[in-house]
Amino acid sequence: MKIAVIGAGYVGLVSAACFADFGHEVVCVDRDPRKLSLLEQGRIPIYELGLEPLVTANRQAGRLCFTDDLAQAVAAAEVVLLAVGTPTRATGDAADLAQLFSAAGEVARALRGFTVVVTKSTVPPGTAARLRATMAEARPVGDFEVASNPEFMREGSAVEDFTQPDRVVVGVASMRAENVLRQLYRPLTARNIPLLVTTCEAAEVIKYAANTFLATRIAFVNQLADFCERAGADVGDVTRGMGLDKRIGPAFLAPGPGFGGSCFPKDTRAMAHAAREVGQPFTIVESVIASNDTRKRQLVERVAAAVGGTLGGRRITVLGIAFKADTDDIRESSALTLIPDLQARGARLAVFDPVAMDNGRQLFEDVEWCEDAYAAATGADAVVVLTEWNLFRGLDLARLARVMRQPVLVDFRNLFLPEDALNAGLTYHSVGRPVVQAPDRPAAAVLPFRSGTV
């Protein structure tokens, strides 16, 4: 099939590369000259495991190309995928659909022959119907259908999630559109991967519902960890006991510094806004948002308590600024709250992240960017683990302790065993577990999180 993908961002680029790898002919459209120049040079503007070789192989095979000519790409396409950004509006919690409707208008004017126009962007319910009306106004005699096909890709494993998904969801308003999308996804359904066909509205809600539910699990386990600290229980034991229940499962039950990234924060806010718009407030989601925001704001208190309460003049090392491992994405990362808060308290910051530091340099000032974790930890009063990179799991804790001025490790990802930290001579603060005190050091203050209600 001939496919045009509008938008070479995270969703668009991964989708374009994977559909090309399925054997389709794909043209990916973007108006950013810098991004197009990088892609034409075979360079990927985002960090995503497995994406670069996939793009390179399919460009060389002639199945994938990049252009800024939307009209030409759409005119030849049987399917057009809209994968433009739908960020939170500058004011309020609603999704900003301006780019989407602008692209849809351009697509409508460029259509030639029957075409299925598919929203891959995350959008509130009712968007497909509005797009259909907008496109019909732009091209009254156009022969097209609008469908919804939300993506469920996790940053860091997007290629795997696209090629080996749990399910494919398509929302359609006609059998004609359904048949086209079944053909599009034939390489997956031939391997017995379920394809769920719904209305457009249901498909749009499924995406928001999935993300808000996962965000709710994260907020729940973070508050559970706080409770465990007060109750004297190890949250790891508790979540293992919960996860063995088949009705619950172990996924998204790891406590941490709060969720971030390009999806959960904006999608929870958009879901809450959409619910208010229809007169049915989603109070659980509202509480999840408040709880997550509170958690990020209180990270600085945990670090201050670990070093005795005063941050002025302290050298604090932050390991990891990406919102999660295996990505360079720092959007809504906890680092965006913690680093400025530490600086406002007078701390001096040394930072290392394996791939996200170029993005960090554009946002943070007066930060020492280091070549590795040990260089960042040299002379530190505390090392704070903020991202769960596997590289950090393998750190030599004894070496880390030796180069620090004060051997204090604040692990917001629970990457290490408390006994290993103790044997390395570290005072170890983690989440939902007792503090482990290094020998011959005075007891550090322990300040639990005080999260909002979920």
Kindly state the tokens that stand for 442: 């005075």
Q: How far apart are CA 454 and CA 404, in angstroms?
A: 38
Question: Helix, strand, coil shares of the chain as percentages rounded to 5?
Answer: 45, 15, 45
Look up residue 436 and give its DSSP letter.
B
Q: How far apart are CA 174 and CA 127, in angstroms?
A: 17
> Among all chains, which residue has been given the structure tokens 């590795």?
372
Residues of 172-208 as b/e, b for ≥16 C-beta within 10 angstroms? bbeeebbebbeebbebbeeeeeebebeebbebbbbbb
Closest by CA position to 406, among listed 428, 382, 385 = 382
SS3 240: helix
Cβ atoms of 107 and 69 closer than 8 Å: no
Angle at 269 between CA 263 and CA 272, to 5 degrees: 130
Cβ atoms of 399 and 371 closer than 8 Å: no
Residue 197 CA neighbour count, 13 Å, CB half: 13
Q: How far apart are CA 430 and CA 302, in angstroms?
A: 10
Q: Which residues contact 214 (CB under 8 A, 6 or more apart)?
A: 252, 264
Q: Calculate Rg over the CA atoms of the chain.
A: 24
Burial of 105 (0-12, 13-18, 19+ CB in 10 A): middle
Q: How far apart are CA 355 and CA 240, in angstroms?
A: 31
Active site residues: 263
SS3 181: helix
